[in-house]
Structure 1
Amino acid sequence: MSDLLLSEDRDGVRTLTLNRPDQLNAFSQALYVALAEALREADADPEVAVVLLTGTGRAFSAGTDLLEMKQTASGGDESAAHGFIGLVDSLAEFSKPLVVAVNGLGLGIGVTLLGFADLVLASTDARFKTPFTTLGVAPEAASSFLFPRLIGRQNAAWMLMSGEWFSAEEAHGMGLVWRVTSPEELLPVARAHAATLAARPISSLVAVKETMTASLRPGIEAARALENAKFAELLGGPANIEALVAFAEGREPDFTSLPPGA
């Protein structure tokens, strides 16, 4: 297991911890690959009943590493896009219960992956943001399909379109988060719930998850195909370049001078 992703097994629960605290656990290509591989390995391991995913430091995940995204947008490196797609493939195909403990900031994929979780617990320190419009890109990870069903169409529209922050309490009220705890209680409470699930027969857990998600699969696949096409269309466009340059320069993006329709 890479140092970027820590792994611990206890009582049938495999805890995977994103471990780039100095980068707020932003997903580099290497971390995308590491988590995708870890999910596949846990799915195939007969000793693992449940995966618990969390992060180190003050963030759960700050989303895609924007420095890598800038390289991709400039035509310098397309591998990060493949790493992202591989992770979403693994999330969509994961057959066992996935419990997520959001310990802090969640942006981008640090929020959209919650659409594939079976239980989401969050610390009161957690905050959520899907910054797609502020980056000049399209949604991701089937969030355009899953979020309206998870939190309601209008909540999803505001979250995906506005790029505004949501508190843990607001996310709980919408249904994105199942339980909110103090920072100190987050992992103990999440582990206790994961252990309760892990005490059940794995075959039954898998059957329950399959019956709950089977009808969603065609919609997830269609949404991902459209999202990926729209993302590729917008990546490197005027709005996206302005957003990434502004990030690199430490300023807010200015979209007022973009060409009409951009």
Structure 2
Amino acid sequence: MSDLLLSEDRDRVRTLTLNRPDQLNAFNQALYVALAEALCEADEDPEVAVVLLTGTGRTFSAGTDLLEMKETASGADDGESHGFIRLVDALTAFSKPLVVAVNGLGLGIGVTLLGFADLVLASTKARFKTPFTTLGVAPEAASSFLFPRLIGRQNAAWMLLSGEWISAEEAHEMGFVWRVTEPDELLATAWGHAATLAARPISSLVAVKETMTASLRPGIEAARELENAKFAELLGGPANIEALLAFAEGREPDFTKLPPGA
């Protein structure tokens, strides 16, 4: 297991912990691949009934590593962007219960992956943001399909269109989060619920999850295809470049001076 991702097994619950605290658990390619492989391994392990995912430090995940995104947008990387796709493939295919304990801030993929979770618990200090419009790009990870079904069209529209922060309490009211706890109670509470599930027959857990998610798969695949096309179309465009330059320069982006329609 990579140092970027910690793993611990107890009572048929595998706890995976994002471990880039100095980078606010932002996903670089290595972390995308590590989590994707860990999910696949847990899915295939007959001793694992449930996966519990959380993060170290004060942030669950700050999303995609923007420095790496800037290299991708400028054409300076080696073209390897497979890690994100591998992770979403793994989340889509994961057949066992996935419980997520959001210990702090969640941005981008740190929010959109929650659309694949079966239970989401959050600290009172957690906040959520899908910054696609503020980065000049399109949604990801089938969030354009999953979010409206999870929290309703208008709540999803606000999250995906505005790029504004959503508090843990607001997320709970929307139905995006199942339980909200005090920070020092979060992991124990989440693990307790995961352990309750893990005491059930794995075959039954898998069957229940399959019956709940099978009808969603065609929509997930269609949404991912369209999102990926739109994301590729916008990545490196005027709005995205302005957003990434603003981030690098420590200022707010100014989209008012872009060419018409950009």
Does TM-score exceed 0.5, indicating one fold?
Answer: yes
Cα deviation, residue 80, structure 1: 5.4
Q: Are positions 1:15 and 2:12 aligned together?
A: no
Distance 2:79 2:106 in 1: 23
Percent identical across equivalent pairs? 89
User: What is the aligned partner in structure 2 of residue 191 from structure 1?
Assistant: 191
Contact kept in structure 2, 1:29 and 1:79, CA below 8 Å? no
What secondary structure does 2:171 align onto?
A: helix
**CA pair 131-7 structure 1, distance change in 2 beyond 3 A:** same
Contact 1:68–1:80 (8 Å) recurs in 2 = no
Q: Distance in 2 between matches of 1:67 and 1:105?
A: 19
Report whether the alignment pairs 1:244 with 2:244: yes
Deviation at 1:81, TM superposition (A): 2.8
- Structure 1: how far apart are the matches of 2:82 and 2:88? 10
Measured against aligned partners, the alpha-carbon deviations of 1:14-53 in whole angstroms (never above 9, x if no partner) come to 0000000011000010000000000000000000000000
Aligned partner of 1:227 in structure 2 is 227
8 A Cα contact 1:25 1:61, kept in partner: yes
5+ residue gaps, structure 2, are: none
Structure 1, unaligned runs of 5 or more = none
Secondary structure of 1:140's counterpart equals coil
Q: Match of 1:242, as an amino acid?
A: E
1:82 is matched with: 82
CA–CA distance in structure 2, aligned partners of residues 88 and 76 of structure 1: 24
Task: Give the SS at the match of 2:81.
Answer: helix
| Distance across 2 between alignment mates of 1:241 and 1:144 | 23
Structure 2 match to 1:170: 170
SS in 1 for 2:6: strand
Structure 1 equivalent of residue 66 of structure 2: 66
Quote the Cα distance in structure 2 between the aligned partners of 1:172 and 1:22: 28
Q: 1:96 to 1:78 in 2, by over 3 A?
A: farther
* Structure 1 partner of 2:201: 201
> Cα distance, 1:192 vs. partner?
0.3
> In structure 2, what is the equivalent of residue 105 of structure 1?
105
Output aligned runs, 1:45-56, within 5 Å.
Answer: 45-56=45-56
Shift of 1:82: 1.3
2:22 and 2:169 mapped to 1: Cα distance?
A: 26
In the alignment, residue 58 of structure 1 is paired with which amino acid? Answer: R
Normalised by the size of structure 2, how large is the TM-score?
A: 0.99
| Contact 1:121-1:179 at 8 Å conserved across structures | yes
Aligned counterparts of 1:66 and 1:205: Cα–Cα separation in 2: 37
Q: Deviations over 1:78-130 (max 9, x none)?
A: 65531101100000000000000000000000000000000000000100000
Q: CA deviation at 1:75?
A: 1.0
Judge which range, 111-120 or 69-78, deviates more.
69-78
Q: Is the 8 A contact 1:69 1:80 kept in 2?
A: no
Distance 2:128 2:80 in 1: 22
Counterpart CA distance in 1 for 2:196 and 2:90 is: 24
Write out per-residue CA displacement over residues 134-187 of structure 1, whole angstroms, 9 at most, x where no aligned residue. 000000000000000000000000000000000000000000000000001000
SS of alignment partner, residue 185 of structure 1: helix
Q: Quick one: distance in 1 between partners of 2:257 and 2:82?
A: 32
State the match for 1:129 in structure 2. Answer: 129
Distance in 2 (CA, whole Å) between partners of 1:245 and 1:81 is: 21
Instruction: Assess, with a 3 A threshold, how the Cα gap between structure 1 residues 40 and 221 changes in structure 2: closer, same or farther.
Output: same
| Aligned position for 2:29 | 29
Match of 1:94 in 2: 94
Measure the CA separation in 2 of the matches of 1:238 and 1:212.
Answer: 41
Q: In structure 1, what is the equivalent of residue 255 of structure 2?
A: 255
